[in-house]
Structure formats: C-alpha cells, structure tokens
Amino acid sequence: MEEAEIRRLLLVIFEKIEFVSDQIIPFEFYVKSVPLVRGVDMDDLVFVALNEYLDSALLWTGDKELYNALENRGYSKVVNFEKIKEMFDID
C-alpha cells in the first residue's frame, strides 16, 4: 500500500473508535472491579472498570489469563475470539 492509502485507512478506522480517558471513570467502578482483576493483572483494572462504567455488553479481550479469571469469578460480560466464533457459529 502507498503511504497515503495507509493514512486514509487509519483515518477511517480512527473515526470508528471512541477514545475514552480513564479519568472519567468514577471511583466506585474501580472499587467494584478490583476483586475481578486482583491476582491477575492490575493493569487490566481500567478496562474492566470502563466496561462497567459504560455498561458495555461485552469486554472483548485476547488476554487468556484475564478472560479465564473473569469467567471463573462469574463475570459474564467478557468474551474472547473463541467465544465470538461460537456466538456466530464460525469455524
């Protein structure tokens, strides 16, 4: 691809992404999310807290350790690629 084409493609992609500052997440959502990520990776706290704050349907992660921990802790709002394939019956 030519550089101009790549830049144009990136602009299209970035127009579809909503960037959210973690500073807008109220403290209560961090507190609620700590038990879900404790012992896994506290760096993932912001993603779980944001998912809760935005009341998002699903948190899509490629982090197997995070996915397994959240599933084992009863967090039903998490999916991975394998789960997406199952949901849409993709082989």
pTM summary value: 0.78
pLDDT reported for residue 34: 97
* Domain contains 15: no
Q: How many domains does the chain have?
A: 1
From first to last of the 91 residues of the chain, give the pLDDT tens digit. 789 999 999 999 889 888 889 999 999 999 999 999 999 999 999 999 999 999 988 999 999 999 999 999 999 999 999 988 888 888 7
* Domain contains 4: no
- Decide: residue 74, CB within 10 A, 0-12 exposed, 13-18 middle, 19+ buried: exposed
Q: Which domain holds residue 40?
A: 20-87
Which residues are within 8 A (CB) of 54 and not within 5 positions of it... i.e. 6 or more apart?
20
pLDDT reported for residue 16: 86
* Domain contains 62: yes
